[in-house]
Structure 1
């Protein structure tokens, strides 16, 4: 039995609408790997099977495209660095543009990222940042 047959008709329409809008975004998203998995897990916790689908699509649209190996290398490098944390008033989430007073640090080529990100330490959290827009693309756990 499919998940759509188990839901009320309004739930089916919501799920179909989310898929119709979100799947094209997921196909061209830069973070379809890491973001989709994280979004699906978060969505499932909140909304069950339908939430997993919607969360996966949303996560794919906003997450950084890091392979598991890149994630490990970046985390290892960034955590070993000792830079002061800058306090910002807002919650720092993926997509948040960092203020100009937050210093961005380079990720050396030896770390092996396929994209040229910078990193910052904000509110005692390390984040990867797209340097041109200063937007957070990945929160390093």
Structure 2
């Protein structure tokens, strides 16, 4: 039984990334969460599944290089004020409620559920529900 479960999990883990490439950033996060949860469950049981799911959602939700460039150009044009933040600006770290998040409008040509902010003169994409940084755009 355990071997069958592991085989099914490995098959799903190998299949989901191919599907994720064909999807936009919104479903990429979902596919990343599913893949991470399965991989984490294999290695660490229920706790590993939870950790893997969060990590997979973050990695699966990032924008492509061309979409990142479009968002960055838009942000520069908007001239939003940069927030000084003493903590490290890294993927996975949550931002405090005092940091304002702005939507990425559809006319930018990028479909994403994420919001952006400018932290220490760097554009970051943020999951508005968890307030965690999902991508730092250079």
TM-score norm. by structure 2 comes to 0.56
Number of aligned residue pairs: give it: 96
Which residue among 4, 7, 13 is the counterpart of 1:24?
13
Partner Cα separation in structure 2 for residue 83 and residue 109 of structure 1? 18
What is the deviation of 1:65? Answer: 3.1
SS at structure 2 position matched to 1:30 = helix
What is the deviation of 1:31? Answer: 9.4
TM-score norm. by structure 1 comes to 0.55
For structure 1, the 5+ residue unaligned runs are: 1-20, 33-59
1:135 corresponds to: 132
Partner Cα separation in structure 2 for residue 72 and residue 95 of structure 1? 21
Matched, 1:115 2:101: no
Distance 1:89 1:120, change over 3 A: same
Residues 17-75 of structure 1, C-alpha deviations (whole Å, 9 max, x = no match): xxxx9x9398376399xxxxxxxxxxxxxxxxxxxxxxxxxxx8343332333122112
Residues 90-120 of structure 1, C-alpha deviations (whole Å, 9 max, x = no match): 1010111110110111111101222221110
1:70 corresponds to: 67
Partner Cα separation in structure 2 for residue 76 and residue 128 of structure 1? 14
Q: Is the contact between residue 31 and residue 65 of structure 1 (CA under 8 Å) also seen in structure 2? A: no
Q: Is the contact between residue 104 and residue 112 of structure 2 (CA under 8 Å) also seen in structure 1? A: no
Deviation beyond 6 Å, 4+ runs, structure 1: none
